[in-house]
Every structure is written in structure tokens, then in C-alpha cells.
Structure 1
């Protein structure tokens, strides 16, 4: 039986063991619960108190001792629903109040708006960021300038990127430098001639961000992401102008 979901209810392994022991025993003393769960008595008592606070364990006096019993497992569903409601409320507060208020205090531009990454992990981060940001407005999508020499390396760390883009209905316009490039759904492509000095590069424009990828020695990817509405819109303007001329 998989119990991983219980961790999302803030129930750790010891609490789960105690709860399952109580379900098996029925009403039981601390000593019996500890023995059944394989936990020392002091730890068992502290865990039982934590479970009682969560409402999945209750107790009643029997003489000078306390007898503990597990609440019906359906109580776990109530815990999950309460946690989900609280999370939904937190999401709404973040979206409508907290994030807008924090953005008002954010500086327009700082060195933190430029991020550097290396290797395939950096490339994958850019591609996933593209899906996340462009997915908010799939029809608008994003724009790309890509050289032939980089294309063979681009999707190495994220081979199902194109499939995920298509599944989300995200559109892309590509200015391909040099021949090649595969046709795909929701994609438009135009070509630019590649000169002798054309180096490997990939530029993705998805306002308010611009991502740039190139290859260092031994085809090692180097990534820069600029998070600036002004820069992104300027790059978009230049892209749109060039696109219209081709």
C-alpha cells in the first residue's frame, strides 16, 4: 500500500506508523501502541499528542491512564480537503493581493534581472520557462532566431519539448539562420542566409524575457536570460520588422 500521499497531509513516517498501529489495535494504552509501532514510549506519547491535535486520534481516561484510539480513516480525507481549501485560498491571495503588492515594490531593473546558466541543465531551464510563460497566452506564443549549428544541441536535454508545446497549443515563429529545421504544428518558419562567420546561437523572445543560448568549447551550452519588458519588446519589434520583410 502506497502511503506517499499522507506526507502531503503533514504526516511523517512515525505518525503514520502510530496511526496504523492504533487502527489495528483499537483503543489501546501508550505502552501497547509503542510496542505495536516499534517506537519507544516517550516518542509514541509525543506522536499521539500530535495526531490528537490533527484530529486523527482521540483519547479517553481509563482510571489514571489515557486510552487512545484512531479516528475513522475518512478523517484523512477531511484533512486533505481542508488543506486543499487553505491552499486554494493562499493561491487566490497570492494572485490577487500579495504578488501585485510585491511587484509594486520591485525595482524596474537590477543585476538580478540577468541570469547566467551553463550546460544542458541551463538549456532545459530555458525551454521549460518558455512553456510556462508562453503557455499563459498560447495564441501569442513566442519568437525565435536560431542558427543551424545550434539546433542539433538544443533539445538534447528536453527531447519532448516540441510535443509538449503542441499539446499546449503554443505558437512559435522561427527565423532560421541556415537551411534545415523540421516543420511542426503551431509553428511558422522563415529562413535567413547563413554567412561564413555565423556562429551557433539561439535567441528566444517571450516578453518580458529574452533568452540567449550559445555554445562554448566542445559544444558546451552557455545561457543568458534577461528579464526586462523594455528589452524584450525592443527585440520583439526588431523581430517583427524583419519577419515582415521576408
Structure 2
């Protein structure tokens, strides 16, 4: 009768339920004698079986007479458990959504970089802000013609930018600070990471320079927020 244990009955409840099926209507005494279950445990099991709809009782004088309900009631008990589980499924689904989930996309080369930049302009609304951390001279020199057009369209849309350049690119800071909706600084210490980062909405973009130029887009609110917190720390110690 392991199946009865599988559906949530204790070993004591199973013994008493099976005994009642054999004994028919009876008091607690014969049940305890047949099952050899201790008095206190027997009464706990009987009350639990009553709650589950598997045992009934009637009072005759001072005594309670117990009977097992028809075995089909086990199905009713299972259906009730199923119904209660279904009620909490939406809550469990919400908790699952709270887990860290992310999408990662990788773009190669200059075209990939520009595609990612265009997404920023396309997805952000007026007065939204995006952050750039660790922009190197190499990238600024390489994409400056594109950046001139990018910033023109960004400013037309009133998108705010805060950017921290690597020290080797600090020459770009004065010109950027003359642009509307733009604040630029540079980091006096060297950034050791071989990449720079852009953060907007729920996205963090890692740019890796080298033999292969990669733009790695990570879409996850928690990760993006962590990069924002780091940016704010670096912003405080950077120079304009």
C-alpha cells in the first residue's frame, strides 16, 4: 500500500484506515489493538483521516464510533489536493520569473558595433539616459565619423549620455561636454578591463577590441543594474 503513502498519508494513517475497512464501525479500542498504534498517535491519525474525508464518526452516548468512508473518497482527496496545488501555480510561476534570466547576443565587426548603437537610439525615449564606461581612444578614433552622426541624431531625440573615457581618450572629453544632453569625464587611473561597457534600459553591452571586434549584448535587469552601480562609483572618482 505504498501508493497511499505517495498520496500523502502517514504510515499510522494507512494502518488505521485499512483496519477500519476490515473492522467496519468501531470504537478506538479495537483500532489500537489491531494496528498496535499508540493511543495518542491513534487519535491524531483518526482526526487527520476525518479532515481528509476518509473516516467518519458518530457519537453514541459518550463513545465515538468510527467508520472508513468508501475507498472512492481517496480520489476526492486527491482531487482536492490537485485543486489546492492549482491555486498556488500562478504564485509559483511568478517566483520562477523572479529568477535571473538573460539573453545574450554577439555582434562582430564594425557593422555589428553600429547595429548595436542604432538599437540605443531606436529603443530609448526622449530624456532617457545611457551610460558608457571605459571608452578607449582606439574606438573613438576608429568610429569618430560615425559618432558625429550618431550624436547629432541622439541630441535631436534628446537622449542623455554620461560617458567615462579611458585616460588615453581624454582629448575627447571637452568636445563631448559641449554637446547637449551630454556629460563626459575620464578616468585618471588605467582601466584594466580589455573592454568597455554601455548600459541602457535592461541591457549591458560589452565591447571587446582586438583581432576580432565584438559587441556582446546581455539583456538582464539585474546585470544592467549592477553595471549602473559600478558606473556611479567610477563616475565619482573620474575627472572632467
Q: What is the TM-score normalised by the length of structure 2? A: 0.50
**Whose radius of gyration is greater, 1 or 2?**
2
Q: What is the TM-score normalised by the length of structure 1? A: 0.49
